[in-house]
Structure 1
Amino acid sequence: MREPDAPPDGDDGPDAASASGGEKALNRARTLALRMLAHKPRTAAQLETGLLRRGHAEEVVTAIVEECTAAGLVDDTAFSRAWVSSRHHGRGLSRNALTRELRTRGVDEDTVREAVAELSDDDEDEAARALARRSLAGSRGRERDTRVRRAVGVLARKGYGGGLAYRVVREELEAEGVETDPEFPGP
């Protein structure tokens, strides 16, 4: 026989209901997090933002992000290194542009600095040179100033500073045999 204050059989009372509700919330958030991570790699901040945006409670989101990090599914350091390598070699982005992109993805400053530091000055110079070559090749037959403006613009949009951009464009034009005066436009 059951005690008068005991809940009916099969029901563990209101605490059990809230505990099972909490577990359901965790499971829903966990499932969503796994789907998000299966779609593409994300930083911890991106995962957190995505879960919060979909209405999950902050404590649930924190627990899920910690679980994913502990399981190795979210690793901001690995993400940053892969991002820098991919975007630099694939799109020719400068260290400045890569730094901005990682910051907007919620990566902490130390991790950003470490990932971007893996690119040397020579890597950056070579990427800028390849972009300038490509731009100048596409503008052959146009006025020199137009070619310079367009090539420097391409480099600026990829995050390269004016000094490097003008130097690389000047050197690439000289390699083509195009004369550049000592008063070559510069920063």
Structure 2
Amino acid sequence: MQQRDEGGGTEAQAKDVCLRLLTDRARSRHELEASLAKKGFTTEIANAVLDRLEKAKLVDDESFAQQWVQSRHKYSGKGKRALSMELRNKGVSNELAVHALDLIDADDERQRAAELVRKRCRSLQLPDPNGPDARAERDKIVRKLVGMLARRGYSQGMAFAVVKEQLDRAGADTEDFDGPDSM
């Protein structure tokens, strides 16, 4: 079955490309299809190879999505919104993405957001609550922290709640802090 088309290479060559890519990390079928297309393999050869790799359980979008979500949430601190977008960009179906994202519950997501804020607070100078510009300085820090969480895919409501909670724990004055509307 070493069929060769004018457009690319053989099935064996396509399989080798896929296996090399899979040694780095798990990949979605869509990612492998895109890599094969970029290297000039025909759609027929790519589909034949990917179908065989799926039967051998070397390509499994469901498993990939679950691994991706767990890894990116734990090690990169990504929230569900960002993870959903990443999975969509990797070609994972909406159904599989939702199933994988369900592995992270609201408490896990909030806890991870709190860890990120605590870590970031260590490098920030919290304003003196009695200082002349205490509120302006605190609001500036809040914007930085909420922005950090937003870029990682956390909802605005959760971000403000977590930031307020962590600033309270750090001893910042948050009495007049009402959330996004007070900014």
TM > 0.5 fold call: yes
Q: Which residue of 2 aligns with 1:124?
A: 109
Compared CA separation, residues 101 and 20, structure 1 to 2 (3 A): closer
- Of the three residues 121, 146, 154, the one matched with 1:152 is 146
Q: Is the 8 A contact 2:2 2:12 kept in 1?
A: no
Q: Which residue of 2 aligns with 1:16?
A: none
Compared CA separation, residues 174 and 52, structure 1 to 2 (3 A): same
Q: Which residue of 1 aligns with 2:132?
A: none
Flag structure 1 segments of 5+ consecutive residues without an equivalent. 1-18
Of all paired residues, the percent bearing the same amino acid is: 34
User: C-alpha displacement at 1:182, in angstroms?
Assistant: 3.3
TM-score with structure 1 length normalisation? 0.84
1:112 to 2:106 alignment: no
How far, CA to CA, are the matches of 1:131 and 1:20 in structure 2? Answer: 51
Higher mean Cα deviation, 37-46 or 58-67?
37-46
How far, CA to CA, are the matches of 2:69 and 2:160 in structure 1? Answer: 24
Q: Which residue of 2 aligns with 1:6?
A: none
TM-score with structure 2 length normalisation? 0.86
Q: Is the 8 A contact 2:28 2:90 kept in 1?
A: yes
User: C-alpha displacement at 1:90, in angstroms?
Assistant: 0.8
User: 1:135-169, CA deviations, whole angstroms, 9 ceiling, x for partnerless residues?
Assistant: 22211245212211111111111111111111111
After the TM superposition, which segments of 4 or more aligned residues of structure 1 sit over 6 Å from their partners? Answer: none
Q: Which residue of 2 aligns with 1:10?
A: none
- Of the three residues 123, 135, 138, the one matched with 1:138 is 123
How far, CA to CA, are the matches of 2:176 and 2:122 in structure 1? Answer: 23
Number of aligned residue pairs: give it: 169
How far, CA to CA, are the matches of 2:23 and 2:120 in structure 1? Answer: 36
Query: Which structure 2 residues correspond to residues 83-102 of structure 1 after superposition, within 5 A?
Result: 83-102=68-87
SS of the residue aligned with 1:178? coil
- Of the three residues 16, 27, 30, the one matched with 1:45 is 30
